[in-house]
Amino acid sequence: MIWPLARRFTVARYRGSALGLAWAVLTPLVMIAVFTFIFAVVFDARFVRGGSAWDYALYLFCGLLPWTAFQESLQQSAGVVVAHANLVKRVVFPLEALPVAHVLAALAGQMFGTAALVAAVLVVRHELHATLLWLPVLLVPQLLLTLGGAWFVASFGVFVRDTAQALALILMAWMYLTPIIYPETLVPERYRALVQLNPFAPLVRSYRNVLLEGSPPDWRGLAYVTACGLAAFVLGYWWFARTRKNFADVI
């Protein structure tokens, strides 16, 4: 049931648009162009010493891909139960599948973007690293973290209708507190420990390692992300299952 729902959500997102699924690649490309101009051209920021603005764009793209999938999953899940209120009173329908389908739909967009990133790396650097094969390993903790968060916000969205608006603010702050549009070296030393508490910081670092730098993932950081993801997955599912019986009364 989850796979047809994910395909339906993916198609519905771009149905009726002239460019269709091309928006999955075009949207992050526009963001990359804007951030690259502001930070790499205007402020002369670089992720690697001696790198060009094109290198900055590649590092930015690499960080935005997992973050965008995470952000879209949570934003879409915030109102998914209310949007499918007709299914709430059907005891046999597994409501927990709705957030999962949105997570997979966002992951499909990430895969389209990753294909575009690989093509861009070939054009700019004329090489690909074998460490690219580590990519599926990085998806596991990312999916655990995303699924747990999606179940949490899907439940909160039923009881607190301001969830989507509050979530947008939280995610915006979280993105800027994650070294996505700037390198970690720019973070003052006294704040480095706080950055390491952010589970997305080592995840983004590992994506850049395997896709751009030809090095293995940050295994220590990835273990931390996995632990956070497992905790979010278990607690998120537990909370959704616990509160589900009250959905019909609220809706």
CB 77 within 8 A of CB 101: no
C-beta atoms surrounding 22 within 10 Å? 13
Q: Extract long-range pairs of 209-212: CB within 8 Å, 24+ residues apart.
A: 209/131, 210/129, 210/131, 210/132, 210/134, 210/135, 210/138, 211/62, 211/114, 211/117, 211/118, 211/121, 211/129, 211/131, 211/132, 211/135, 212/58, 212/59, 212/62, 212/121, 212/129
What is the pLDDT at residue 22? 67
Q: How confident is the model over 45-67, as a mean pLDDT?
A: 87
C-beta atoms surrounding 219 within 10 Å? 11
What would the pLDDT profile of 60-118 be if each residue is shown by its tens digit?
A: 999 999 999 999 999 999 999 988 888 887 667 888 999 999 999 899 888 888 988 89
Q: The whole model's pTM is what? A: 0.90
What would the pLDDT profile of 172-226 be if each residue is shown by its tens digit?
A: 999 999 999 988 888 888 888 888 899 999 999 999 999 999 999 999 999 999 9
The DSSP code sequence of the chain is -HHHHHHHHHHHHHTT-SSGGGHHHHHHHHHHHHHIIIIIIIS---SSTT--HHHHHHHHHHHHHHHHHHHHHHHHHTTHHHHTHHHHT-TTS-TTHHHHHHHHHHHHHHHHHHHHHHHHHHHHHS---GGGGGHHHHHHHHHHHHHHHHHHHHHHHHH-TTHHHHHHHHHHHHHHTSTTSS-GGGS-GGGHHHHHHSTHHHHHHHHHIIIII-----HHHHHHHHHHHHHHHHHHHHHHHHHGGGHHHH-
Q: How confident is the model over 228-243, as a mean pLDDT?
A: 96
Q: How many domains does the chain fold into?
A: 1
Domain hosting residue 241, numbered range: 2-250
